[in-house]
Amino acid sequence: MGSVIVAIPNADNSRNICDILRKRGFTPNLVCSLGDEVLRYAGGADYGIVICARKLKDMSCRELYEYLPKSFQVLMIGADTGDFVSLDGLLRLTPPFKASDLVNTVDMMLNDLESMIARNKKPSRSLEDKKIIEKAKLLLMDRNDMTEPEAFRYIQKVSMDTGRKMVESAEMVLMLNWDR
């Protein structure tokens, strides 16, 4: 699960938000009032959301958003003053709001981040599979006078055409061209 950071200078408001989150199963990883503290914590975390006020003690919510890693989103708690611009990863919740509004928004933001991370993760090949593919590419480059990208594309195309994994197609290339 991602990190939840509460960065609100007003101690009463911060405590109320933390209480709401804890009652609904979200435990804040950090509670603070400085953007610098948020940035230090976020630098070592995988992903998460920051619930913050419009203005922290050392920077604005907008500045914090710009400095945060892209794997973090910001939920700004504050009144509508007309100057807020919603950006991808920067949302606002205007008081007064229901506890369920806060919890549902936090849940939605975390789910959005988890989906984004899942989409960006590609299964990696084992070292042995990489070696087999590399051998097949070298063989194709040597015997068929192909460039490295052409050899890779050939193995990739064979893989797609036959419905096999790339390593299986590379093994086929090696077996068929071994005795020549």
The SS3 of residue 123 is coil
What are the b/e assignments for 18-46, b being 16+ CB within 10 Å? bebbeeeebebebbbbebebbbebbeeee
| DSSP symbols for 62-83 | HHHHHHS-TTEEEEEE----S-
| Structure confidence by residue, pLDDT tens digits, 81-136 | 665 556 667 888 988 889 999 999 999 999 988 888 887 766 667 888 989 999 99
Out of 120, 144, 165, a domain closes at: 120
Whether residues 11 and 30 share a domain: the answer is yes
| DSSP symbols for 35-65 | HHHHHHHHHTSSSEEEEEESB-SSSBHHHHH
- DSSP annotation of 168: H
The SS3 of residue 9 is coil
Structural domain containing residue 53: 3-120
Whether residues 66 and 93 share a domain: the answer is yes
Q: How many domains does the chain have?
A: 2
129, 130, 135, 136 alpha-carbon torsion, rounded to 10°: 70
Q: Of 95, 93, 98, give the one whose Cα is nearest residue 49.
A: 93
- 70: its two tokens: 């892209």
Whether residues 74 and 100 share a domain: the answer is yes
| Structure confidence by residue, pLDDT tens digits, 21-56 | 999 999 999 999 999 999 999 988 889 999 999 999
Out of 97, 120, 143, a domain closes at: 120
- 53: its two tokens: 């006020």
Whether residues 7 and 95 share a domain: the answer is yes
Can you give the pLDDT at residue 8? 95
Of 8-17, 92-101, 117-126, 137-146, the range with the lowest mean pLDDT is 117-126
Whether residues 33 and 81 share a domain: the answer is yes
- What's the number of CA atoms in the CB half-sphere (13 Å) around residue 47? 16
pTM (2 d.p.): 0.65
Residue whose entry in the numeric block shows the structure tokens 């077996």: 175
CATH of the domain at 144: 1.10.10.10
Query: Where residue 159 falls among pLDDT bands split at 50, 70, 90?
Result: confident
CATH of the domain at 82: 3.40.50.2300
Whether residues 74 and 133 share a domain: the answer is no
Whether residues 93 and 132 share a domain: the answer is no
- Other beta carbons within 10 angstroms of residue 79's beta carbon come to 10
The C-alpha atoms of residue 28 and residue 18 are separated, in whole angstroms, by 7
Whether residues 11 and 60 share a domain: the answer is yes
Can you give the pLDDT at residue 157? 87
Whether residues 172 and 105 share a domain: the answer is no
Whether residues 13 and 52 share a domain: the answer is yes
Whether residues 107 and 133 share a domain: the answer is no
Out of 120, 146, 167, a domain closes at: 120
Mean pLDDT of the 1-26 span: 93
Whether residues 153 and 86 share a domain: the answer is no
